[in-house]
Each structure stands twice: as C-alpha cells, then as structure tokens.
Amino acid sequence: MSAMRCVQNPQSMQELGLEWRRQGLRVGLVPTMGYWHEGHLSLMRWAREHCDLLVASIFVNPTQFGPGEDLENYPSDTKRDSALAAECGVDVLFTPRKDEMYLPDHGTWVTVPELTKNLCGRSRPVHFQGVATVVCKLFNLVQPTFAAFGEKDWQQLAVIRKMTRELDIPVRVEGRPIVREADGLAMSSRNVYLTPEERAVAPHIQKGLCLLESMIRAGEDDCAVLRRGVMEYYAARIPTGVLDYLELVDPERIETVDHIRTDVLAAVALRIGKARLIDNKRINLEK
C-alpha cells in the first residue's frame, strides 16, 4: 500500500481529482473539521470499502460560525488525525488553509433557504450558507464519486443532498448512522467541552428522544404533548441544560409537524455548559 499523501493547496487537490476522474477511478470523500472521533473514523472505514481512492479533508470552515460561537476554540489535533487517517486507509489528506479556500474578495455563496429556516438554521442564521458553500467547493476541488456524512447532522445532510441535486453536481451523497458512546451520547468533537458532571447527564439527551418515541408508539400523536413530555424530562434530568430547540419535523422538508401522521424526525439541540450538542431520532411508523 502506498503512503498517504498530504495536500494543502486547493489547485493541487483539484488537479489530482480531475486526473482521477479522467482515469475513471471511484473516489470517496469524507469532509470533516478535524478532531476526529469514532464517528468520523466509521465514515472513513465505510468509504474505504466502496472506492478506489479515499480523500479525507480537515478544514475548520470559518464561514459556518456565527459571532460568539466557538471558531477560535474549536478543538484541533491535526497530527493525531493524520495518524488516524493513515490507519483508516486514507490515500489523500486534504488540509487547505483558510486564506486559500476564501480569497480576500470572496463574495459567492450557496444557499438552500427552504431547508434552513428551522432547527439549527433558526438560531445559527449564517451556518448553512457556510456549510453549503464549503461543501460545494470541496466537491469541485476533490471531484469525488461520492461523499459520506454522518446522520447526526441530519439537517446538514438534507441541505447537501438538495444542493447537490439541484446544482447537478455529479456526486452521490451518502448518509451514515449516528455513532454513539456506550451510554448513548452521540459522538461529537464538542463533547470535549463537557465537565465530568456535565458528561454524566449528557446521555439523557438521547434518552429523551427515546421517551418521545415510546410515547408515539403508545399512541400519542399530538406534537405539543410530545414536546412537553420530553422538555419536562430534560428539565428534571439535565437541570443546567438550556434548550435551543426540540422539534418534530418532516425528515426531508425539515418542516415542523403538529400531529404525527407519517414518519417523523425528532431533533434536539441543547446547551450544556460550553457545549452545544445536537441529536436526532428518525421514527418510522409501521405501515
């Protein structure tokens, strides 16, 4: 097996990607902001099995952070990530610099307004514009056959799928299941912000979603009742938590529903100390 190649310059990455496309090679891409956990590694291992060449990118994208968010403090350990990439069989690790991804006069943005009014888009208004723009750029630079994303960021996945489809970008977007700690907490680079006391109560985020599903399975279809039940659960189990949102939405349109009539996505964002943690659960109703 050849040694992993590290590429920083975007033009060099694009030249490689175009050459691979000319050769008819299947190229997989796993875009990340680094500080990898098992969720990231699971994407790479899965992608490795489905491509000829695997690219992983590390880029803490400044345009998806709003004022007062954690851009400056976002955890980073590129040396560790690089070693993990090699272990996962990554062929090229792409680590572009901010000033090369966004030139000083950058003024072109990709927006998907229909899917970004709700959930994270409501409290982070610039977030998905930054996400869609940088993913579009990565697709153009790497020229992948497919790209793998985690379903923890469900709204992000929906945005990227719609963008890719409607801009006719020849990339297959693959969503992969949430990877969790043994106690159920969704893996996130931001989990490192949690104190031991906060980490001890954080698994109740997922347990609240499981409670909501059990209420639906028991016949409750009023979303106001469902939300109230879970919010009471969070208030009792995570008393220091500050709820950003708890919504039941259509999984594709990301629109809030009032009553459960078909499959639904329960999505939550909760601040615990310095960490803003998100989680979701897709609830499929029996036909």
Contact indicator for 257, 226 with CB cutoff of 8 Å: no
Has 190 been labeled as part of a binding site? Answer: yes
Has 33 been labeled as part of a binding site? Answer: yes
User: How are beta strands 53-58 and 172-176 bridged, if at all?
Assistant: unpaired
- Reduced to 3 states (helix: H, G, I; strand: E, B; else coil), residue 70 is coil
Has 127 been labeled as part of a binding site? Answer: no
Contact indicator for 75, 192 with CB cutoff of 8 Å: yes
The tokens of 179 are what?
A: 């990877």
Has 60 been labeled as part of a binding site? Answer: no
Has 150 been labeled as part of a binding site? Answer: yes
The catalytic position among 40, 50, 204, 259 is 40
Contact indicator for 276, 123 with CB cutoff of 8 Å: no
Among the residues of 23-153, which ranges form H helices? Answer: 38-48, 78-87, 98-101, 120-123, 127-142
User: How are beta strands 264-272 and 242-249 bridged, if at all?
Assistant: antiparallel
Sequence-ordered list of residues with C-beta below 8 angstroms from that of 182, at least 6 positions apart, any chain: none
Please count the other Cβ atoms lying within 10 Å of the Cβ belonging to residue 217.
11
Has 152 been labeled as part of a binding site? Answer: yes
Has 130 been labeled as part of a binding site? Answer: no
Contact indicator for 128, 112 with CB cutoff of 8 Å: yes
First to last CA, the chain: 48
40 is catalytic: yes
In this structure, which amino acid lies at residue 105? Answer: D
Has 57 been labeled as part of a binding site? Answer: no
Has 153 been labeled as part of a binding site? Answer: yes
Has 129 been labeled as part of a binding site? Answer: no
Has 154 been labeled as part of a binding site? Answer: no
Has 12 been labeled as part of a binding site? Answer: no
Binding residues for beta-alanine: 64
Binding residues for (R)-pantoate: 64, 156
Binding residues: 33-40, 64, 150-153, 156, 179, 187-190
Residues catalogued as catalytic: 40
